[in-house]
Chains A and B, each alone.
Chain A
């Protein structure tokens, strides 16, 4: 014991004062996790994304459906600190823009009108909204209080809707569908994997065959096939839940394999044997003794499964077989980018894709860090 803890204690002393000998297992995991700098940063990003997802109506500067034909494909509005005369202003501001059709190319061109400044403020009064569809409000996190000017920080889409507001609104569905889908596949995975690993023998072989089978068929065609069968007259909410069910029906196998691997390893442990000898029922052994001791591994595996779900939803919606208008998700937004000509005209249509990449990378790094920290006794 002393041999094993000596170097670990020395390391602990160098970063934070953690008493290795008395800290709980979760304390050790936390300690090991925080040493993984990138994972911590990505954890913060993920947390921020979920905070945004929770308060989209308040954070988005505009109503995502507010459209104006005059603003179609308007380029991102530049934020200024220096006005046209070169004076510095502490509060950032934008200029109003007016659109004019270029008679040579017949494209709309946007010209900044530098005569009036419109400062960007925090907690400004904006378009009214209903938070979570319930609480009415009209104070938005940031924006331009003067309604004469509109800011498009990430440009506007085909119908002159603010891309930034739409992307922020898309965060809710895109981030939550991964979470809800993973929780569903977690239940299937933990039951099948747990049973498979606990009983072993024939049960194990049958479960493994099923998992192998599901893993051997290409998922996207199957997802597409199932998603195409959803009735077109269903509401957005029904479609949302059906899509999560479809994704988790096929996506649970990876989790089941993690659970099984841990369960197989734990089965041989002395405390499981002791529980069995003292007459605990099987379900009690699985859920009371085994599950808590591999919970940390499960959490890591869950985190790594969320980005797969996010990508799957994005792909389905992008192809038009997942969520559809009026639901807003990153995949639905990316549908606009299917047309190469509009992307060439308005590259900011690809911005939702950047959000997908950010979320997926952050979740992957976070999951990697958690997986490394999940077993704090291993060096």
Chain B
């Protein structure tokens, strides 16, 4: 087990390096360097540009030097100083800006992941055990719709319904009085009260997918001889199903965290924009629109690393569950 974990950890290093390169490419993509466009917007606004300040910025980011030097300056700043660069739009260091938003993104993604599990596991088992029952058809229908409706559309419809039917505005993660307040118990309760709507919206797609997987896996296991044997020995059906076939069917269930998590993080971006949540999503969008590339690159980098860590945890969990993977 220890050896497997170390192997798996070593694999993360090249992955993170490639992610950082891709994020840096995205930072570099807009035509011209960002400083020129920054100066252009300042001048368009009628502001005077301080030549000395520009020169200092040029120096700091290594502009004009070869691309790989710029890359190492950027990565070096992140590793040694925890410094992701300067946001030109906000005129503040990126690290100050994204801290809390990043945390809220993590909390939101984790909450949806838990929801995905908590809802799809029992429904998947039910659908398989009672195959072709009205309940099974109902959940099959629901899960197909869940797969077909993009979650931002779901968020949009939900907001519209809440607004027109109940006259309330869904959206945000805090009530106005808590938005800028420091964390307290009251704020936390308020936060939980807001969290569940975006969490469900995000989770729907994953729930639909996992119900299908769980149902199919369990249906493969149920007719196997060991199930028949256990049944013939007089085990109660409930204990029988939960103890053996479900455990076997659970395996692919765990391995799907690997693709559920990137999906959730991905979805959280656009759902957050629709529901106006104070997560990284809206910030990434405005950063990209105004070509505030260091901010955008940092968000892209951190979100990707987040999913890599999630996948890592799911792989280790899977190896712990299934000895065949450990020894392979």
Contact = CB atoms under 8 A, between A and B. Distances in A.
Interface of A is mostly: helix
Interface stretch (A74-82, A151-159, A177-185, A359-367): A359-367
A321 B296 CA distance: 14
Given A215-B262, A224-B269, 19 more contacts: A213-B15, A215-B258, A216-B15, A216-B258, A217-B307, A217-B308, A218-B263, A218-B304, A218-B307, A220-B266, A225-B29, A225-B288, A226-B26, A228-B296, A321-B285, A353-B153, A353-B157, A357-B149, A361-B145
Contact of A225 (B26, B148, B150, B163): B26
Contact of A218 (B152, B160, B285, B303): B303
Interface of A: 213, 215-222, 224-226, 228-229, 231, 307, 311, 314-315, 318-321, 334, 337-338, 340, 343-344, 347, 350, 353, 356-357, 360-361, 364-365
Interface string B128-146: 0000000000000000110
Interface of B is mostly: helix
A290 B142 CA distance: 38
B30 A228 contact: yes
A221 B164 CA distance: 31
A33 to B, nearest CB: 18
A34 B153 CA distance: 32
B300 A319 contact: no
B219 interface: no
A220 B153 CA distance: 15
Given A225-B300, A226-B29, A340-B159, A315 B150 contact: yes
A221 B303 contact: yes
A350 B163 CA distance: 14
Contacts of A337: 156
Contacts of B226: none
B209 to A, nearest CB: 11
A365 B145 CA distance: 11
Interface string B9-39: 0000001001100110010011100000000
Contact of A229 (B26, B153, B157, B269): B26
A330 to B, nearest CB: 10
A217 B262 contact: yes
Interface in B254-268: 258-259, 262-263, 265-267
Contact of B163 (A228, A318, A321, A340): A340
CB-CB nearest 9 A-B residue pairs = A229-B29, A228-B288, A225-B26, A361-B148, A218-B266, A220-B266, A218-B265, A217-B304, A360-B148
Contacts of A334: 153, 156
Nearest to B27: A225
A357 B266 contact: no
